Chain A
Amino acid sequence: MSFDEHLKGGKETDRPHRRGLLPIATTAASLIALFVVWHLVSSIWPSRALPPPMVVWETTLSELKSGDLGYHLMMTLWRVGAAYVVAMVIGTAVGVALGRYRRLDAFFDPWLILFLNIPALVIIILAYIWFGLSETAAIGAVAVNKIPNVVVTMREGARALDDRYMDMARVYHLSARDRLRHVLIPQLQPYLAAASRSGIALIWKIVLVVELLGRSNGVGFQIYLYFQIFDVAGILAYTLAFVLLMLIIELLLVQPVEQHATRWRRRLA
């Protein structure tokens, strides 16, 4: 009974319950199991290399109180955001161009394959050597790592564009802005969503490397610091905090935006 009442209480929020209760319970059980295993392993073989969950939690709290955690998280988050925007804008423009013009595509395809296969580390190091240890070089290096993936996805999207909508837009003389907003972007939306999703995950991992190699703040820099003093609790505290932050962004920003963008699809019975 009390469980039911609890459920009702939860329903007062406006967000629609897209998932049932069972998947949530499964997810919770799965995560709890992971922490239990971690706890058991760290208490059976006590070692500085694997601190128990409670120690990591305490480290997280103390870093939070000192303000360090918040500061470094925000520095990393801003780099992730900046690199994401740069990569999506440039990658989409290039991808759509390659998808629409076959000759352009034939010429630049080898470049694309080359860039897809250059290791992230090489691009980061070269960016720091050529442009100095600056914020621009850091964000640029991350964006350059991501751009080829965006290009490939958006090229597919541009190839799938429906010419009938373009014809309609031409006959009715839609403005360039209207064509972009109402004809082009909605058609590319599934591809933009795919590029975004794989993008965020990739970008934040590369951002940590960029910070480790040439920045004096951010989660990557802190992890490097704790690596040098062999403080695994600190490493895990920063990692888990940032993972949590990315999950919150996914839940509160990415999913609602996607739901809004595909609202016309949901009504299909």
Chain B
Amino acid sequence: MNSTQPVGAAASLKVAIYEKTFHSSQGVRIDVLRDLSFEVRGREFVCLLGPSGCGKTTTLRILLGLDREYSGTVNVSADASHRTAAVFQEPVLLPWRTVEQNIRLTLPAALKQTAFNDLLEILGLSGLETLYPAELSLGLARRVALARAFATQPAILFLDEPFVSLDEPTADRLRSLLMAIWAARPTTALMVTHNLREALLLSDRIIMLSPKPAHVAGVFEVAVPRSARDREAIEDMVLAFQDRFFGAT
């Protein structure tokens, strides 16, 4: 695939984590990850799906470089930049900075002066630039977090359950906004979620994780093109998915 994107290049990701353990305050050893390996290709949207508490967020923290105490390797290959962006479970906006300052602050030096009005336009944030995060609803704050992530023109984007604790209509609206913005600025994306329908709606491929200690239980290719993923198609895929992973039992 030749680059059709004007700026930056999408990275691919190769993960091979042999072991990640935690020690509880009582000294009990908890194996969180074991032999977890997968790949994300350039400009691919992949979902890591798994039951709550299976180590999805731990995996993401390792990939983001926030947790370095593990054995294994994480390789990000990028043609041009190694820029990473993240959308966390909570928006994590600085409450003492306005929407615009929050976005501009995270821009790398080369992009400091760039306009990101188009992003705000797509996300429906135009006119809210001077508000402080506390003046926004959770849904709007999440949109700002998305805008911030895409504004940095990342080579790879990580999303950690970015739509939890929103009501369904709001979450749905945000999912379509995510798709709109991802179409406008395509990049490699890895999203963690426990919501199967969300994963089927958004991703090219779903990596199913096992319960703790987590490893890859299977990979599900979402063959249906995004434009054809209506309610019916999603429900069909849910059945196929369940048949594949839980059908035997």
Question: A interface vs B, CB < 8 Å?
Answer: 164-165, 167-168, 170-174, 178, 182-183, 186, 189, 264-265, 267-268
Asked if B92 contacts A172 (CB within 8 A), the reply is no
The number of chain B residues touching the other chain, given as a range, is 20 to 34
A171-B85 contact in complex given A267-B134, A267-B135, C-beta closer than 8 Å: yes
Asked if B96 contacts A167 (CB within 8 A), the reply is no
Asked if B134 contacts A168 (CB within 8 A), the reply is no
Which residues from chain A contact B106 at a C-beta distance below 8 Å? 168, 172, 174
Q: How far, in angstroms, from A174 to B88 measured CA to CA in the complex?
A: 17
Nearest Cβ on chain A to B111's Cβ, whole angstroms: 12
Which residues from chain B contact A165 at a C-beta distance below 8 Å? 92, 94
Q: How far, in angstroms, from A164 to B106 measured CA to CA in the complex?
A: 15
Contacts between chains A and B (CB distance < 8 A), count? 52
Beyond known contacts A170-B64, A172-B105, A268-B135: 15 more, CB 8 A cutoff: A164-B92, A167-B92, A168-B92, A170-B66, A171-B64, A171-B84, A172-B86, A172-B152, A174-B105, A182-B94, A183-B94, A186-B97, A264-B95, A267-B135, A268-B134
Asked if B66 contacts A167 (CB within 8 A), the reply is yes
Q: How far, in angstroms, from A238 to B56 measured CA to CA in the complex?
A: 68
Question: B interface vs A, CB < 8 Å?
Answer: 64-66, 84-86, 88, 90, 92, 94-97, 101, 105-106, 108, 132, 134-135, 152
CB nearest to B106 among chain A residues: A172
Which residues from chain A contact B105 at a C-beta distance below 8 Å? 172, 174, 178, 182
Query: Helix, strand, loop or mixed for chain A's interface?
Result: helix
Q: How far, in angstroms, from A267 to B66 measured CA to CA in the complex?
A: 33
Asked if B85 contacts A182 (CB within 8 A), the reply is no
Asked if B84 contacts A186 (CB within 8 A), the reply is no
Which residues from chain B contact A164 at a C-beta distance below 8 Å? 88, 90, 92
Nearest Cβ on chain B to A261's Cβ, whole angstroms: 8
Most buried by A among B85, B96, B105, B106: B96
Which residues from chain A contact B85 at a C-beta distance below 8 Å? 171-172
Asked if B94 contacts A173 (CB within 8 A), the reply is no
Asked if B94 contacts A167 (CB within 8 A), the reply is no
Which residues from chain A contact B86 at a C-beta distance below 8 Å? 168, 171-172
CB nearest to A181 among chain B residues: B105
Nearest Cβ on chain A to B156's Cβ, whole angstroms: 11
Asked if B66 contacts A171 (CB within 8 A), the reply is yes
Which residues from chain B contact A170 at a C-beta distance below 8 Å? 64-66
